[in-house]
């Protein structure tokens, strides 16, 4: 059963002796009641971004600082005209579908970090962006998850791919996997999504006590942990060829 907006606020003000430090079941920081909805709370975009360095063609910008008085062209995606001319001569060398830009799911990933300015930044539909919420949250005895706002969807901005679901016991800011369909201007502090809370049944297995959890306590966007192939799956596949 999903919590209503008033119940979210109520849970934030009820210390629970079963939680670490007698904390309430829900912590959202910073919190402003104006962001409390019918059954969710609005989250905001942190200015800190990351992209995987392997996926960025040499000479291309990760983003463009927005200037409302400027008339933009494809040239603005490149640091200087040399790379723009290379792009015109050989566009496949800058095409994200080129296998040389492959992301290895089983490896640690190097990232390029940047901050979007107060006046906004234009994101490139070719790239995937790791960002995060301004808000730090803690959740106990409930199931938290985030989703995009309808206005975000109507601008064709995706704020998460598969990681919209949280866990009982998760503590940290939320990493966002942002992708845009068109070149899109985003701003630090804009409303980037909503957090919801569901009740659940059964014995608890809190995320903050799970030694296999990768992202608890994260602050800012965090790159993907290597995705392993479990040994028992390898053995199963070997035995069922």
Of the residues 89, 118, 177, 235, which is catalytic? 177
Q: Evaluate whether 77 touches 128 at the Cβ level (below 8 Å).
A: no
Active site residue 177: yes
User: Which contiguous run of DSSP H or E holds residue 52?
Assistant: strand 48-52
- Residue tagged 């985030």 (tokens): 146
Query: Closest Cα to residue 194, out of 230, 141, 149, 132?
Result: 149
DSSP assigned state of 204 = -
Q: Which string of DSSP letters, residue by residue, matches 101-153?
A: G---TTS---EEEEE--TT-EEEPTTS-EEEEEEEEEEE-SSEEEEE--HHHH
Catalytic residues: 177
């Amino acid at each position: 059963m999903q919590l209503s907006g008033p119940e979210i606020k109520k849970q934030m003000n009820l210390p629970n002796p079963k939680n670490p430090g007698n904390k309430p079941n829900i912590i959202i920081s910073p919190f402003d009641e104006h962001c409390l909805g019918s059954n969710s709370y609005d989250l905001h975009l942190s200015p800190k971004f990351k992209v995987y360095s392997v996926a960025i063609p040499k000479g291309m910008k990760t983003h463009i600082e927005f200037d409302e008085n400027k008339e933009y062209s494809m040239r603005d995606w490149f640091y200087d005209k040399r790379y723009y001319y290379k792009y015109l001569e050989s566009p496949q060398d800058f095409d994200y579908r080129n296998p040389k830009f492959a992301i290895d799911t089983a490896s640690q990933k190097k990232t390029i970090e940047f901050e979007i300015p107060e006046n906004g930044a234009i994101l490139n539909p070719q790239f995937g962006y790791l960002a995060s919420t301004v808000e730090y949250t803690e959740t106990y005895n409930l199931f938290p998850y985030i989703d995009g706002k309808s206005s975000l969807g109507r601008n064709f901005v995706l704020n998460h791919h598969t990681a919209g679901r949280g866990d009982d016991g998760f503590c940290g800011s939320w990493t966002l996997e942002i992708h845009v369909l068109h070149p899109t201007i985003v701003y630090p502090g804009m409303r980037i999504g909503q957090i919801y809370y569901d009740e659940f049944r059964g014995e608890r297995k809190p995320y903050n006590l799970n030694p296999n959890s990768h992202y608890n306590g994260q602050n800012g966007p965090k790159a993907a942990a290597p995705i392993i192939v479990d040994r028992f799956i390898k053995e199963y596949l070997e035995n069922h060829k």
